[in-house]
Chain A
Amino acid sequence: MCSGVDTEPHVLTDFDREVDALRQLLSLKGLMSVDELRRGIEAIPEPEYHALGYYQRWIRSIADNLLRRGVVTEAELRRALAAA
């Protein structure tokens, strides 16, 4: 962690922008607070956490939180993943 900082600009991908926008919309609609997002990120097991990119952690936390709140059901997610 105490290595040099990569100060180069990185371009966001469409995936990054979409996850970012989705997070904002879920907050605005009262369906997931930013604290729930953070809780979900912190709950990712450490080896997986380090293997995932920034917005990859976000979508994993978003999915976890939507399931916890019942906004999305397990059955719906299984079906949609099979189609995705």
Chain B
Amino acid sequence: MSLFSAGDPVRVRDDWPETGGAVHIRTPHYVRGMPGEIRAYLGRFPNPEDLAFARPARDLALYHVAFPRQAIWPEGQGDDEILIEIYETWLERA
């Protein structure tokens, strides 16, 4: 039911649907295009991009994905990390 497993290297799609009109996206701007690592599969949840417009929403796999903080912002300590919930449709294999 889920494409990725804990430990898999992934990349967040470098996609900016906001430029095409009204959307609601739960993938923060600061991780678009960034490499990360799957930490856990969190279950399946209806796609918020459809729920936000009261449209029928299909269930998507949701993962906890870790990103090295310094790869996003160079300042700060080396091994700090950011852990984010990301839907499978936003992830590609790295």
- The interface on chain A, measured as residues whose beta carbon lies within 8 A of the other chain's beta carbons, has a size of 10
Contact with A along B11-49 (1 / 0, CB 8 A): 000000000001010000000000000000000000010
Contact across chains for B54 and A36 when beta carbons are under 8 A apart: yes
Whole-angstrom distance from the CB of A29 to the nearest CB of chain B? 13
| Sample (9) of A-B pairs whose CB atoms are under 8 Å apart | A33-B51, A33-B54, A35-B24, A35-B48, A35-B51, A36-B52, A39-B24, A65-B54, A69-B54
Nearest chain A residue, comparing its CB with the CB of B50? A35
**Interface set of B (CB-CB < 8 Å, partner A):** 22, 24, 48, 51-54
A68 within 8 A of B: yes
**Interface set of A (CB-CB < 8 Å, partner B):** 33, 35-36, 38-39, 42-43, 65, 68-69
A43 CA / B22 CA spacing, docked (Å): 8
A35 CA / B24 CA spacing, docked (Å): 8
A contact residues around B52 at 8 Å (CB)? 33, 35-36, 38-39
B contact residues around A69 at 8 Å (CB)? 54
A contact residues around B48 at 8 Å (CB)? 35
A8 CA / B48 CA spacing, docked (Å): 33
Contact across chains for A68 and B24 when beta carbons are under 8 A apart: no
